[in-house]
């Protein structure tokens, strides 16, 4: 059977003050009144029975995730007791799925991405699932054709390409995974035409990824085996709380993908955006004639250029005069004002707010 696993645990510190510890970025209503989580669900809900869509999120976000996705069963929202990175989250999902369906096909998608057009993405996902069902030892990842030398994303080096009967998309061998490069290296990657951005989207057999985790990350096996054995029983939550924190804090790329054999890739010929910062809004929201991005139900902007102005409060007016290359983000109890080029310092700012007793604003 085919299952989708939505990864929805990110906090989104670079989207403060809208994103908070109890309100992650995937539930912000920044795109036509929809949340990123809702958009992700809508992309895949025609491919999977709603009973086969699982959402992994942090313990504090479970209720807000359920409110966003009332269509899926209550127990399909799985709360991680602590943040353990993607290897732990994927291991947990694979352990649960393979307990109930040893032949489960598992598509891993993330809740904080914008992907268009949907039909192109869905066809690539379908081709990936069809491929691993014929080749159960294989792992599929999805690469994004780079549009500029991005230094904030990992890269995939593609190898030989093969046509597969029944698949519209070509299937590539993956030669290697590359970490975030410097600008010179990123430019070299683009010039070769052999590299794609690493999207963080995957398809594999749940049992296969679980076996690889046990092999490549052996310390993950005892806690996952115990969680799997007790899942669905009266002690499920107690065992999860006891064992999940014992999982190594490491990404699935470091733990498995960079070490495994039979890794393949499909190129996503889509508009793709990892919604990690306010500046990313420029890629999905039409700017005005002066390059300003305004997300507000009421606004007055005079003599401003290349600035970003955001509020979710429908009763709040955003008004600005003479801003140049600035970010202004309003929330009910905090407002961010900073030059666009300084938004990379947001995490330092949040740490300073915490140190000065401002936890209530985080």
**In sequence order, which ranges of the chain are alpha helices (DSSP H)?**
36-44, 62-68, 85-100, 118-134, 183-192, 206-216, 221-230, 236-244, 252, 346-355
Q: For residue 83, which phi and psi values (nearest 5 degrees)?
A: -80, 120
The whole-number average pLDDT for the span 39-47 is 94
Percent pLDDT > 70 in the chain is 99
Q: What pLDDT is stored for residue 33 in this prediction?
A: 73
Coil vs helix vs strand at 123: helix
Interval 154-194: pLDDT, tens: 899 999 998 888 888 999 999 998 888 889 999 999 889 89
DSSP secondary structure letter of residue 71: T
Task: Please answer whether residues 34 and 113 qualify as being in contact, where contact means their C-beta atoms are separated by less than 8 angstroms.
Answer: no
Any idea where the domains of the chain sit in the sequence? 2-274, 284-361
Q: What pLDDT is stored for residue 13 in this prediction?
A: 79
Q: What pLDDT is stored for residue 217 in this prediction?
A: 96
Prediction pTM value: 0.86
Peptide bond into 355 cis (omega under 30): no
- Which residues make Cβ contacts (< 8 Å) with residue 190, sequence separation at least 6? 146, 148, 149
Chain-wide mean pLDDT for the chain? 91
Q: What pLDDT is stored for residue 135 in this prediction?
A: 95
Neighbouring C-beta atoms of residue 179, cutoff 10 Å: 12
Q: What pLDDT is stored for residue 313 in this prediction?
A: 86
With a cut of 80, say whether residue 26 has pLDDT above it: yes
With a cut of 80, say whether residue 85 has pLDDT above it: yes
Q: Compute the distance between CA of residue 264 and CA of residue 213 in angstroms, rounded to an integer.
A: 18
Query: Looking at the chain, how many residues does it have?
Result: 362
Q: What pLDDT is stored for residue 216 in this prediction?
A: 96
Task: Please answer whether residues 92 and 244 qualify as being in contact, where contact means their C-beta atoms are separated by less than 8 angstroms.
Answer: yes
Q: What CATH number matches the domain at 2-274, 3.40.50.11540, 1.10.520.10, 3.90.550.10, 3.90.1150.10?
A: 3.90.550.10
The whole-number average pLDDT for the span 256-279 is 88
């Amino acid at each position: 059977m085919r299952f989708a696993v939505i990864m929805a645990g990110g906090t989104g510190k670079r989207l403060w003050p809208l994103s908070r510890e109890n309100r992650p970025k995937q539930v912000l209503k920044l795109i036509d009144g929809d949340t990123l989580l809702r958009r992700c669900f809508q992309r895949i809900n025609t491919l999977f029975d709603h009973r086969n869509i699982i959402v992994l999120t942090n313990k504090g976000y479970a209720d807000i995730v359920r409110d966003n996705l009332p269509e899926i069963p209550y127990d399909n929202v799985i709360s991680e007791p602590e943040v353990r990175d993607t290897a732990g989250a994927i291991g947990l999902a694979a352990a649960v799925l393979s307990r109930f369906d040893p032949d489960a096909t598992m598509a891993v998608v993330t809740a904080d991405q914008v992907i268009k057009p949907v039909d192109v993405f869905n066809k690539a996902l379908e081709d990936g699932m069809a491929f691993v069902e014929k080749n159960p030892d294989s792992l599929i990842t999805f690469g994004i054709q780079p549009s500029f030398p991005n230094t904030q994303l990992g890269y995939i080096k593609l190898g030989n390409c093969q046509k597969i009967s029944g698949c519209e998309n070509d299937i590539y061998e993956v030669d290697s995974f590359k970490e975030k490069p410097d600008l010179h290296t990123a430019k070299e990657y683009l010039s070769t035409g052999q590299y794609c951005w690493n999207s963080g989207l995957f398809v594999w057999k749940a049992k296969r990824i679980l076996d690889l985790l046990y092999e490549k990350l052996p310390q993950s096996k005892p806690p996952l085996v115990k969680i799997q054995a007790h899942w669905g029983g009266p002690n499920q939550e107690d065992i999860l709380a006891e064992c999940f924190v014992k999982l190594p804090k490491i990404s699935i790329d470091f733990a498995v993908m960079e070490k495994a054999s039979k890794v393949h890739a499909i190129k996503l010929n889509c508009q793709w955006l990892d919604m990690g910062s306010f500046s990313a809004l420029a890629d999905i929201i039409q700017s005005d004639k002066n390059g300003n991005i305004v997300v507000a139900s009421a606004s007055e902007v005079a003599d401003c250029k290349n600035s970003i102005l955001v509020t979710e409060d429908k009763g709040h007016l955003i008004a600005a005069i003479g801003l140049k290359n600035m970010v202004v983000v309003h929330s009910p109890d905090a407002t961010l004002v900073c030059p666009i080029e300084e938004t990379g310092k947001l995490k330092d700012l949040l740490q300073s707010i915490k140190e000065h007793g401002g936890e209530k604003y985080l």
